[in-house]
Amino acid sequence: MSQKQLLEAEKAEADRATEELKKAAPDATVYKNAGSVLVKANKDEVLKELEEKADLTSTRIQVLAKQEERIRASLQEVQNKVNEALKSKQDRPAK
């Protein structure tokens, strides 16, 4: 769940950056992170990178959501089995 939340925040950040970049003038000077420095970059290339990053992040979020769903179903199944075992043990007459 925490990985999913981090990815959702990452996607939201990429989406915001994409929207701002789309608003910028075609000849605007654009910089991107390259480690701990900013380097001058082509606006269209940065826009493409941001859109690809958002798509990849969306896919990863979907995968994590499916994994989370399977884990929850598995936990529910185990919990039901434990409850049934406890109930059958309580229903047995004491010796």
pLDDT in tens, 44-74: 999 999 999 999 999 999 999 999 999 999 9
pLDDT in tens, 16-49: 999 999 999 988 999 999 899 999 999 999 999 9
Half-sphere exposure of 37 (CA within 13 A, CB side): 3
pTM score: 0.74
Non-local (6+) Cβ contacts of 64 within 8 A are: 3, 4, 7
Count of positions (residues) in the chain:
95
For the chain, the domain total comes to 1
Distances (CA, A) of 83 to 52, 69, 73, 79, 87: 46, 21, 15, 6, 6
Domain span at residue 28? Answer: 2-91
- Separation between Cα atoms, residue 33 and residue 42, nearest integer Å: 13
**Residue 51 belongs to a domain with what CATH number?**
1.10.287.370
